[in-house]
Structure formats: structure tokens, C-alpha cells
Amino acid sequence: MPDPPEAEHAVRPAVWVNCAVSADGRLAYAGGRRARLSSAEDLQRVQKLRANSDAILVGVGTVVQDDPSLRVHWDLLGQPPGRSPTRVIVDSSGRTPPTARVLDGSAPTIVATSERCTRAFPSGVHVVVAGATRVNLAALFLRLHELGVRRLMVEGGGEILASVLREGLCDRLTVYYAPVVIGGRTAPTLARGDDPGDPESVTALRLVSLEAMGEGYVATYTPAGGGAPVKPDGDSPPPEAPR
């Protein structure tokens, strides 16, 4: 497989990472059991973000655990159904259940996988191979841009969020903080994965705004210190902020 273009010449979608966490930064309950953390106001905000995106990306763990549809809930926006964003599933080994809603054919769907995956997906699913044993997110994002994705929304889970942030592939991060504390040892955090080796390995952010929303609040960040090494398309700004 050829190497992706050099970073300074590469073009990827504008990437907006969005999630909801507890006040102590947990995405879900113990063992990854789904927690409904967004308020009604935040759910509407998320639907606006989805509607303004070309594609919505999650990891296969989220699909296995929550079976999301990744569709726009137009009823929450008080609008008639419009264009459906493409659903992108990062699945290195082919673990997406055959009955998963993301494979139901109701919206354009891409499964990003690796060379080691031998799984066959439904004929309506576009399969993108991006990596030998694991999906290379940087290479995947370049491929998504080639496929016409200019605005990409990343929703989780924790390992995907951590990888996008640590690899410098995020242009904006929005976090809804719910007024609850989950605690415990196995409840997943916003960014899961390997521990940073030193202080220089952490992901530095710049706070752009802080807004009360329902009983919680929304914090919006951008990368500190110059942003991502792979530049987003200059003609494609990040997804529009909800109004």
C-alpha cells in the first residue's frame, strides 16, 4: 500500500470532535454501558452539528455497545427530513454486527478497515482499507476527502477520540458536561488508550467558548500551538456552529 502524501501537502476534511461526558469526564457507565448524558438542549445542538456535516464517524466499539443509527433526528430540529450524512465506521478487524443499524442501508455508509480484515460487508457499504493491521486515521481522512467529505464529525468512542486528538487531526472539540459524577474504575473516559509518556505528549487545547446549556454546559476548544499537522481544505471551513 503506498504511503499517504506528505503532511504539508495533504488535504483532509475539517474535523469536529463532539461528545458528552459526566462532570468527571466519563463517557459511559462501568464497562462502557451507555449513559444518556446530553440534555434536551444538547441533543438539539448535536442534531444541528450532524445536519451540517458531510459524514459522522464512530469506532466499532460504539457500534457494538450502543448500536447507533448515526442519522439526523430531523424531528428534534422541527424540520422535514433532509440529506443524510455518510456514516463512517472504523472497524479494523470486521467486528460490526450484521444486524447493526449502520448497515441497514438507510444512509450512505463507509466501513474503514485494515488489510487483515476478511469480513464481507453488505453490497451497499463502501469499504475503505486504510492500514495493515489497524486503521490509519490520517490515511483514512485523506481518503474521505477524496470521496467528497469536507466536514467530518467524530462522535466516539474514547479510543477514537483519543487517537484523533493525539494525532493532531482535530480542528474543533466540543464537550457537553452533564451535572453528574459517574466515578468508578472501568467507566470510560473521554480519551482512552495509551498513557502519554511525558508532559510533551499531552494534547494542548485553547478554550474558545463556555456556554450554559440546560443543566450542564458546553466547552469548545481548538488545538493550541498551530493546529493539526495535516491541513484541512482551505475552501472548507469547519462545520457551522449551531444557532
Within a 10 A sphere around the Cβ of 61, how many other Cβ atoms?
19
Name 238's Cβ contacts closer than 8 Å, sequence gap at least 6: 14, 15, 16, 151, 171, 172, 232
pLDDT of residue 241: 43
Residue 81 CA, chain-centre distance (Å), reads 22
- Residue 57's nearest CA partner among 179, 185, 143, 176 is 143
Q: What angle do CA 48, 64, 196 make, to 5 degrees?
A: 80
**Contact call for residues 168 and 11 (beta carbons, < 8 A):** no
What the block records as the C-alpha cell of 204 is: 494542548
- Residue 65's nearest CA partner among 158, 131, 154, 133 is 158
The type of residue at 201 is S
pLDDT of residue 104: 95
- CA distances (Å), origin 136, targets 52, 113, 131, 223: 25, 9, 5, 21
CATH superfamily, domain 8-194+202-223, is Dihydrofolate Reductase, subunit A (3.40.430.10)
Bridge partners of residue 147, in order along the sequence: none
Name 200's Cβ contacts closer than 8 Å, sequence gap at least 6: none
Collect the ranges in the chain with pLDDT lower than 70: 1-10, 196-200, 225-243
Distance CA 111, CA 52 (A): 21
Within a 10 A sphere around the Cβ of 174, how many other Cβ atoms?
24
pLDDT of residue 240: 47
Distance CA 135, CA 162 (A): 14
| Strand spans (E) along 70-122 | 86-90, 109-113
**Contact call for residues 193 and 163 (beta carbons, < 8 A):** yes
pLDDT of residue 33: 87
**Contact call for residues 102 and 69 (beta carbons, < 8 A):** yes
Report residue 108: phi and psi, to 5°.
-55, 135
